[in-house]
Amino acid sequence: MSEKTGHRRAIVTGAAGGLGREVATQLARRGCAVALVDIDAKGTAQTADICRSLGAEVEEIVGDFTAEGAPEAAIDRVVKKWGGLDILVNNAGYGGIEPFLGMSYKMWQRTLSLNVVALALACAAAGRVMKEQRAGRIVNITSPASRMALPDYAAYAASKAGVDSVTRAAAVALAPFGILVNSLAPGMMDTDMQRSTEAELARVNGRNDLQAFLDERTRRVPIGRRAEISEIAEAVVWLCLDAPVYMTAERLNMSGGMDRD
């Protein structure tokens, strides 16, 4: 906790919209100072305005998180501004649809660069700061896709399996220093990424009636509906602020029963 601000200091990546915006907003509402990381300057500014309206201190960090040194630079900027870091939420992600036999290098490179490499380096950079503090919490956003066979979504599914692996490794490496590292697997939410992904998935599979396709997918959810972004964010914030200090290396499933293991 910052002596200067008196608040816990958090970084949320992918904060320009969707789940990242909601997580940042809820953290701000809980009294955290929030740093917003995203490549979308306009969306980041909008999230910042919301957080400031709730009385939070805000730092906007706009840029490509996959660039060499970018995760470390974001962590360093927050430490210089607020004197430390208490929370890192690795929410930024990318996923695209490609038929398995038509997969491309570009898709794999882009997906793994953000979803795995940048996330892992951010965990390490945050871990070095939190080690000196002897405290901190890291939450990585994974997906039920990491444990599913998805031929048209292979790069994304593999990247989220990578997130699960990095989460376990980071949790073990950082546990001796009082740092908790957990992940959360959301169910289907009506974010921009979810909508565009499902539209492309329908196209690749020759489904012309998009609404019928979406309804079929929704019926697969045992709880009977899609997730509200706010309720997924509540679970992320719980991991950031309220989860027991003995809980680490855990994967929290918030998928309405789709991810049952």
Is 156 one of the catalytic residues? yes
Catalytic residue among 94, 105, 153, 156: 156
Q: Tell me the three state secondary structure of residue 204.
A: helix
Q: For the chain, percent helix, then strand, then coil, each to nearest 5?
A: 50, 15, 30
Helix (H, G, I), strand (E, B) or coil at 182: strand
Q: Which residues contact 47 (CB under 8 A, 6 or more apart)?
A: 15, 16, 17, 20, 21, 24, 25, 36, 38
For residue 213, which of 226, 228, 198, 224 has the smallest C-alpha distance?
198
How far is Cα 11 from Cα 6, in angstroms, rounded to an integer?
16
Beta strands 136-141 and 9-13 are: unpaired
43-52: Cβ within 8 A, 24+ apart: 43/16, 43/17, 44/15, 44/16, 46/16, 46/17, 46/21, 47/15, 47/16, 47/17, 47/20, 47/21, 50/21, 50/24, 50/25, 51/24, 51/25
Q: Which residues are catalytic?
A: 156
